[in-house]
Structure 1
Amino acid sequence: MLKEFKAFINRGNVLDLAVAVIIGAAFSKIVSSLTDDIIMPVVGKLFGGLDFSGYFIRLGEIPANFAGSANSYADLKKAGVPLLGYGEFITVAVNFLIVAFIIFLIVRAVNRAIPLEGPADTPDVAVLKEIRDELKKRP
């Protein structure tokens, strides 16, 4: 079983996947910083200067021994108060859209750089295609 496991690990696909996961994690941090530190403050400023991550609806009571701010999403969440954090959801959704758009651009660039061509036709397939095309022209 150890020999099979070594063969599995040494396959190129597994190593490629491991590299992709590591790069994806690093890329995720970059996108999170871009969203949290650059995009969302600008969007928040446009919508009245508020931080989107602070938009929430409290669904439960605040505990009696609560010591934080009643307007702080982080403090209330840490205290275990049930919250509907739609501002945090908006931030995560923007993160997703940025990542999806960047992946789209990468895939688009790769598809343009490496055109997908089918295998070359053998001579008999080429003749059959010519016959098919001639038959299509008939009334």
Structure 2
Amino acid sequence: MFKEFKEFISRGNVLDLAVAVIIGAAFGKIVSSLTDDIIMPIIGKILGGLDFSSYFVVLGKVPEALAGSSDYAALKKAGVPLLGYGAFITAAVNFVILAFIIFLLVRSINKLMPKPEVPAADAPEPADIALLREIRDELKKRA
């Protein structure tokens, strides 16, 4: 069983997948930072200083110490049930950016990769050539 596992792990595809997952996780953190630290503040500024992380609805009782607080992280840490639609908007923008960047990468790689050659289909034989071929074959039969 150990030998089979070693063979499985030694395959190139498994190692490639492991590397892709690690790089993907790191790339996801970069895109999250881009979204949270650059794009969303710009969008917030354009829309009048809005901070999307502060958009939430309290669904339960707030502890006395946090009464009137609009700090999403503090309320969440205190265990208050929240509907954080601002955090969801940020995550959705993050996903769209990540999907677009991956699309651009795949598109660029596809352009760089050589396209497999498709054998050209034989062009249909012109009618006069086909008729001459039939005449030749008929004359060969008679001779």
| TM-score in terms of structure 2 length | 0.79
Q: Which residue of 1 aligns with 2:132?
A: none
Amino acid at match of 1:38: I
Residue of structure 2 in register with 1:27 after alignment: 27
> Does structure 2 conserve the Cα–Cα contact (< 8 Å) formed by 1:54 and 1:73?
yes
1:56/1:67 CA distance change after superposition, 3 Å: closer
CA distance in 2, matches of 1:37, 1:69: 26
Distance 1:69 1:40 in 2: 25
Which residue is equivalent to 1:37?
37
Change (3 A) 1:68 1:35: farther
* Aligned counterpart, 1:50: 50
Partner residue, 2:80: 81
Runs of 4+ in 1 over 2 A off after TM superposition: 66-69
Secondary structure of 1:134's counterpart equals: coil
Q: Residues 86-97 of structure 1: matches in 2 within 5 Å?
A: 86-97=85-96
Quote the Cα distance in structure 1 between the aligned partners of 2:68 and 2:108.
Answer: 48
> Deviation string for 1:3-57 (max 9, x for gaps)?
0000000000010011001111111111111111110111111122121111111
Larger C-alpha radius of gyration, 1 or 2?
2
Residue number in structure 2 paired with 1:63: 63
Identity of aligned residues (%): 66
The alignment of Structure 1 onto Structure 2 pairs a total of residues equal to 126
Aligned twin of 1:99: 98
Partner of 1:14: 14
